[in-house]
């Protein structure tokens, strides 16, 4: 993972298809990746069967030895993890925290990158009047290693009428600064050069102060970037009434989780939302995954839309410096979306094949 970016050679790719539709969509992402690989670039894949199935069979979530192996790769492609809701053998959160979040935390994926675009021809639940004529094209930079996701907190007198349960959001100047700086750098590279800090500074004053202060401080290094601030609750309103106003949003781990699902919903649905769990310092492999979950209710039917996984593969290529190949995938997706017939359904492999064909042609 310390290899120079954008050069020919072998990319060591760890593949974690996960559970449910994770398996199905990952197959399509790999199909497209194989066709999109630039000349001289080979993907050497290692498949890791991690997720609900492995846990239920063996009690293992992410053995240390497996994590050590994964760490030696150049990048990770992940499908989705999560078992059936309310499975009594799956304690809530065990996979999410033991696998998905453990990877994000151990590999220090402090930039959780979630681009949000309404591609031409994509259906949005928002009315045409709401959308207007300005393009919707923003990216959410969600902090990935702190906030309410640290697992800090605990519970006392569990299961009794006197139970007290706490969750501690941990925010460090170090952690906030690096993600805010990354978000500013991205804003600087975009035509509109606009950054919106989303938080809840009027209530969460301790965490809010550090986010606010550091955003003001880093802003001085990026005089061309316009900065504004929005409360997370008000962000709900602006995203649903005027989403084109956003360019780069930077926010904490939990607000980012919420905001990006709303962003996905209004930009054509979770079937299209890609994400990267990025370590911009490149000291560990970054991980790319669709925003959607394992959808046990539709698993095994090959009806899930693999587009989000395919766009995640494009983010992976982009992160590895293969910007052009990433662009080819994105254009293939745009063309495919433009020709989708509303109401018509294609199977998961049909969508993958169609996009792979465009990439190859």
Is 261 one of the catalytic residues?
Answer: yes
Residues 111-140 that bind ligand IPM (CB under 6 A): none
Is 233 one of the catalytic residues?
Answer: yes
* C-alpha dihedral, 295 to 276 to 357 to 14, nearest 10°: -80
The CA distances from residue 211 to 177, 228, 253, 255, 260, in Å, are 8, 13, 12, 13, 19
* β 9-18/41-47 pair status: parallel
Least Å from the CB of residue 342 to ligand IPM:
27
Is 257 one of the catalytic residues?
Answer: yes
The CA distances from residue 325 to 27, 79, 114, 198, in Å, are 19, 21, 19, 32
Q: Cβ of 180: how many Cβ atoms within 10 Å?
A: 23
Least Å from the CB of residue 26 to ligand IPM:
15
Contact range with ligand IPM by CB under 6 A, out of 18-26, 94-102, 127-135, 311-319? 94-102
202 binds ligand IPM (CB under 6 A): yes
Spatial CA neighbour of 114 closest among 136, 142, 133: 142
Is 194 one of the catalytic residues?
Answer: no
Question: Is the CB of 112 or the CB of 348 nearer to ligand IPM?
Answer: 112
114 contacts 255 by C-beta, under 8 angstroms: no
Please give the structure tokens belonging to residue 48: 């890791």
Q: From the list a copy of itself, ligand IPM, none, which binds 258 (C-beta under 5 to 8 Å, kind-based)?
A: a copy of itself
Is 48 one of the catalytic residues?
Answer: no
100 binds ligand IPM (CB under 6 A): yes
Establish whether 302 is an annotated binding residue: yes
16 binds ligand IPM (CB under 6 A): no
Q: Give the one residue of 257, 305, 330, 336 binding ligand IPM; rule: CB under 6 A.
A: 257
252 binds ligand IPM (CB under 6 A): no
Provide the phi-psi class of 121: left if phi over 0, else alpha when psi is between -120 and 50, else beta: left
Query: Which residues of the shown chain bind ligand IPM in the complex (CB under 6 A)?
Result: 96, 100-101, 202-203, 233, 257, 291
Annotated binding site for substrate: 104, 114, 142, 233
């Amino acid at each position: 993972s310390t290899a120079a970016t954008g050069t020919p050679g072998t990319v060591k790719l760890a593949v974690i298809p996960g559970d449910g539709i994770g398996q199905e969509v990952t197959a399509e992402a790999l199909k497209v990746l194989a066709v999109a690989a630039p000349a001289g670039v080979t993907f050497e894949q290692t498949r890791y069967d991690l997720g609900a199935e492995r846990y239920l069979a063996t009690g293992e979530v992410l053995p240390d030895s497996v994590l050590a192996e994964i760490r030696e790769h150049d990048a990770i492609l992940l499908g989705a993890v999560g078992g059936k809701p309310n499975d009594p053998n799956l304690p809530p959160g065990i996979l999410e925290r033991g696998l998905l979040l453990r990877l994000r935390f151990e590999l220090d994926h402090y930039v959780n990158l979630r681009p949000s675009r309404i591609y031409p021809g994509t259906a949005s639940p928002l009315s045409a009047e709401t959308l207007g004529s300005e393009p919707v094209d923003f990216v959410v930079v969600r902090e990935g290693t702190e906030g309410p996701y640290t697992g800090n907190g605990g519970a006392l007198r569990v299961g009794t009428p006197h139970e007290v349960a706490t969750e501690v959001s941990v925010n460090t100047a170090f952690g906030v600064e690096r993600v805010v700086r990354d978000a500013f750098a991205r804003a600087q590279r975009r035509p509109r050069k606009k950054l919106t800090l989303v938080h809840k500074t009027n209530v969460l004053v301790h965490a809010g102060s550090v986010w606010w202060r550091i955003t003001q401080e880093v802003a001085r290094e990026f005089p061309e970037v316009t900065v504004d601030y929005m409360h997370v609750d008000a962000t709900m309103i602006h995203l649903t009434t005027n989403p084109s106003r956003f360019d780069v949003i930077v926010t904490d781990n939990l607000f980012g989780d919420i905001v990006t699902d709303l962003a996905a919903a209004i930009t054509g649905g979770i079937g299209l939302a890609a994400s990267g769990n990025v370590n911009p310092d490149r000291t560990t492999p970054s991980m790319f995954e669709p925003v959607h979950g394992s959808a046990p209710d539709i698993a095994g039917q090959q009806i899930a839309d693999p587009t989000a996984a395919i766009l995640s593969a494009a983010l992976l290529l982009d992160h590895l410096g293969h910007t052009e190949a990433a662009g080819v995938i994105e254009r293939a997706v745009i063309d495919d979306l433009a020709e989708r017939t509303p109401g018509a359904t294609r199977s998961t492999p049909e969508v993958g094949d169609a996009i792979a064909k465009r990439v190859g042609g």
